[in-house]
Structure 1
Amino acid sequence: MGAKFLLTAADKVVRGEGKFEQLMVASQEIAASTAQLVVASRVKAERNSANLGALSQASKGVTQATGVVVATSKSCSEMVEESGE
């Protein structure tokens, strides 16, 4: 799934054919996949690997971005519900 699923969900929401919940789920799946990658990399990489450090930092960025997408989607969903659309 991943990024393609997220883009598809975002496209559908913009066109009024999708739900914000789908966008939130897609974002959370990307964050979960990224976390799995970091865990798997920790098993294989050397303890003080610079690449592992960079991957961990990137994972934190993905987690933060996911939080923003989820919060924004939730807020937009509530606004749409309140407007009665």
Structure 2
Amino acid sequence: MSAPQVLTLYKRTVSAPQLSTLETKQLSSLSRLTPGDFALLTRRLRFSAAHEHRQLALAVLTDENNRKQPKTPIGFVQ
């Protein structure tokens, strides 16, 4: 997903008309998010009693993005 798509979907998911500079910067750095990550976020927010749901949302998306980062290269090492 492109950065504008991530920002738009995040706004819809957390029902936020405006995003803070920190949120925009952090979300723009997450390059491996998919629509499925936002579906997961929606389910987690539905069952969360957290008052700071935007902080929880950023944490969940960051975790999902980082989980997709390759830790070691795939293939033969010379």
TM-score interval for Structure 1 and Structure 2 normalised by the shorter chain = 0.3 to 0.5
Could you say which structure has the higher helix fraction? 1
